[in-house]
Amino acid sequence: MKHLLLSLLFATASFAATIPEAAKVGQFFAGCQAYSFRMYNVFEAIDKTAQCGGKTIEFYPGQKFSTAKPDAKWDHNATPEMIDEVMKHLEAKGLTAVGYGVVKLGQDDASNRKIFEFCKKLGIGVIVTEPDVTALDKIEALVKEFDIKMAIHNHPKRPLDRAYMFWDPNYVLDLVKNRDPRMGSCADVGHWVRSGLNPVDCIKILKGRIFDSHMKDLTAFGDVKAHDLPFGTGKSDIPAILAEYAAQGYPGPLHCEYEHNWETSVPEITQCLDFVRNWKPAK
């Protein structure tokens, strides 16, 4: 048990060390899930993340690439030239790419490897996935080979699909607890709220295995139709979530994933990141 705890602490520390200190927003590495800007191309998503005050970004597969290449998509099939363009734009805007997902990892060895290779080229340390659980041995081998973390994402509970279990933090923990310490969770706190779960309780269950967090503050608790609000104004209890992350020594990344007012959300996302920047633990 002691060895496992030390391994978990090392895994968190080694990942944190790959993110520059300048990527902190207040006490946490923080920025945006590019899906917040899905109406725009990846360069515009980078621009808007920086405009909102974010310092990190998590890409997702399938975003439009650029106005110059209207038919091209940004994902793990990108050409070396596309990757170089994006990396230069990240540097120009002072952003660090730290995550990629939600992307499928499964039984296809070649497809899995392409995803890991893409992330390695970009310096991305976390692949966010809802994996084929029968392929975890294969995924674990790549995690070890590339030294890139795998983080299992949770969507809301599906009452008509009892086979879908990633919403349950205990299920996710059972999948990873006896595996490499780089196998863990992407904690989507908003989807836990939609599932009627207290995010703080879920974070406590997954302590030491959270490598990324999709942050949402929602209009209602236990309602799959609830929509995003600026942090601190909804039902997710963002202050308590930040307090638990701080208590666990989790430095982020925290990614605002704002799925409302798609084309006019910059002021609201700015409020979210300002909330993180100005948050301080209660004395």
| Torsion angle (degrees, nearest 10) of CA 251, 129, 126, 93 | -90
Give the pLDDT confidence score for residue 154 in this predicted structure. 98
User: How is residue 94 written in tokens?
Assistant: 């002072």
Q: Where are the domains of the chain?
A: 27-161+171-278
pLDDT digits (tens, 9 = 90+) for 178-201: 999 999 999 999 999 999 999 999
Give the pLDDT confidence score for residue 1 in this predicted structure. 41
Taking the C-alpha atoms of residue 125 and residue 211, their distance in angstroms, rounded to an integer, is: 9
Mean pLDDT of the chain, nearest integer: 94
pLDDT digits (tens, 9 = 90+) for 91-115: 999 999 999 999 999 999 999 999 9
pLDDT digits (tens, 9 = 90+) for 249-260: 999 999 999 999
Taking the C-alpha atoms of residue 283 and residue 270, their distance in angstroms, rounded to an integer, is: 26
pTM of the model: 0.94
Residue 15 pLDDT > 80: no
pLDDT digits (tens, 9 = 90+) for 208-248: 999 999 999 999 999 999 999 999 999 999 999 999 999 99
Alpha-carbon distances, residue 56 vs 43, 95, 214 (angstroms): 14, 5, 12
Percent of all residues in the chain with a pLDDT value above 90, rounded to a whole number? 93
Residue 8 pLDDT > 50: no
CATH architecture of 27-161+171-278: Alpha-Beta Barrel (3.20)
Give the pLDDT confidence score for residue 40 in this predicted structure. 98
Residue with tokens 């596309």: 82
Residue 20 pLDDT > 90: yes
Give the pLDDT confidence score for residue 283 in this predicted structure. 78
Give the pLDDT confidence score for residue 5 in this predicted structure. 43
Task: Give the model's confidence band at 2: pLDDT under 50 very low, under 70 low, under 90 confident, else very high.
Answer: very low
pLDDT digits (tens, 9 = 90+) for 45-78: 999 999 999 999 999 999 999 999 999 999 999 9
Give the pLDDT confidence score for residue 18 in this predicted structure. 81
